[in-house]
Amino acid sequence: MQVSTETKPYDSINVTPMLDLAYVLLVVFILMTTASVQGMKISMPKPSNKPSTEQHELKIVQVMPGGALLVNGAPVTLAQLEGQLTSAKARDPKMTVAIKGDARAQYAAVVAVIDLCNQLAVNMALVTSRIGT
């Protein structure tokens, strides 16, 4: 037997290690993308294309520093305010009361107006301003 000492160059490239690497990268990519997609599903409300044309009554109640109440600029007592809010709610069930409390007003006076609005089940909003204005 004769042993050939002649070496033949490889005429093909072994791609098996390269395919193994590609499969590992593909698996990592799939795992990472599905992990980042999972979470809470929330259905957001869709905005209406037409603007709201509903007009509801608005009462602005100001609480002055001395505890006096003003409704749309006219002075009233707490009992008169209750009567006005009751009649306004009878006219328009979706009416809103905007409560403007002066910075120097007693906190109890503002809370009394809030309690009255809660008691009458009237929509209310607290009007605030920026600090320093």
Which CATH number does the domain housing residue 110 bear?
3.30.420.270
Number of domains in the chain: 1
From the CB of residue 15, how many other CB atoms can be counted at a distance below 10 Å? 9
More confident residue, 68 or 53: 68
From the CB of residue 80, how many other CB atoms can be counted at a distance below 10 Å? 13
Domain assignment present for residue 121? The answer is yes
Domain assignment present for residue 114? The answer is yes
Query: Average pLDDT of the chain?
Result: 82
Give the model confidence (pLDDT) of 98-114 as tens digits. Answer: 998 888 888 888 899 99
Domain assignment present for residue 68? The answer is yes
The alpha-carbon radius of gyration of the chain (Å, integer) is 37
Domain assignment present for residue 119? The answer is yes
Global pTM value: 0.56
Residue pair 69/78 in contact by the 8 Å Cβ criterion? yes
The helix (H) or strand (E) run that includes residue 26 is helix 16-37
Q: Residue 9: pLDDT above 80?
A: no
- Name the residue type at position 42: I
Q: What is the pLDDT of residue 5?
A: 67
Domain assignment present for residue 11? The answer is no
The parent domain of residue 112 ranges over: 58-127
Q: Residue 20: pLDDT above 70?
A: yes
Closest CA to 78 of 32, 120, 113, 122: 113
Domain assignment present for residue 63? The answer is yes
d(CA 14, CA 9): 13
Domain assignment present for residue 82? The answer is yes
Domain assignment present for residue 38? The answer is no
